Structure 1
Amino acid sequence: MDELKQQIKEVIIDSLDLEDVKPEDIIDSEPLFGSGLGLDSIDALELGVALKKKFGVKFSSESADNKKHFASVNALAEYISAEKAKA
């Protein structure tokens, strides 16, 4: 799971061009939006596309669970792991 979290952090940094952020700067349990990393809805769209390319997981724009999945690196790792287990 730690390797998956590291990959997620790299995708966040690369896809959103966060030049001053390193993977170790992102705390696994810290919120990605608002008070934590400070991402916004445009970042969520870009990140969703990047995660789909990297891990083959889909996020539905109609899904109320998206907010839960994108809550933190931990939440994204759990979702990606669960989706991969289904495949």
Structure 2
Amino acid sequence: MQTLEEDIKELIIEVLQLEDIGPADIDSAAPLFGDGLGLDSIDALELGVALQKRYGITLSANSEETRKHFASVQALAALVANHNQ
């Protein structure tokens, strides 16, 4: 799971063009929105599309479950890991 979390961190940095941040700067358990990484709804949309392309997962934009998956890098990694089983 650690490698998957690192891959997702790198994807976040690449897709959202976070030039001043590295994977080590992102806490896997920290929130992606608000006080954590500070992502917004546009970032979520871009990240969702990238996750769908890279991992083949399907996400619903207005789903409460999708919001839970986007809570942290750990939650995204769990979603991808469960999808690939």
Shorter-chain TM band? over 0.9
Pairwise mapping of residues 13-28 of structure 1 onto structure 2 (< 5 A)? 13-28=13-28
1:24 is paired with a residue whose SS is: helix
TM-score by length of 2: 0.96
Identity of matched residues, %: 55
Instruction: Report the count of equivalent residues.
Output: 85
Segments of 4+ moved more than 2 angstroms: none
Paired with 2:66 and 2:6, the residues of 1 have a C-alpha distance of: 20
Paired with 2:25 and 2:64, the residues of 1 have a C-alpha distance of: 28
Instruction: Please state if 1:67 is matched with 2:67.
Output: yes
Instruction: Please state if 1:6 is matched with 2:2.
Output: no
Paired with 1:63 and 1:84, the residues of 2 have a C-alpha distance of: 20
What corresponds to 2:56 in structure 1? 56
What stretches of structure 2 of length at least 5 have no aligned partner? none
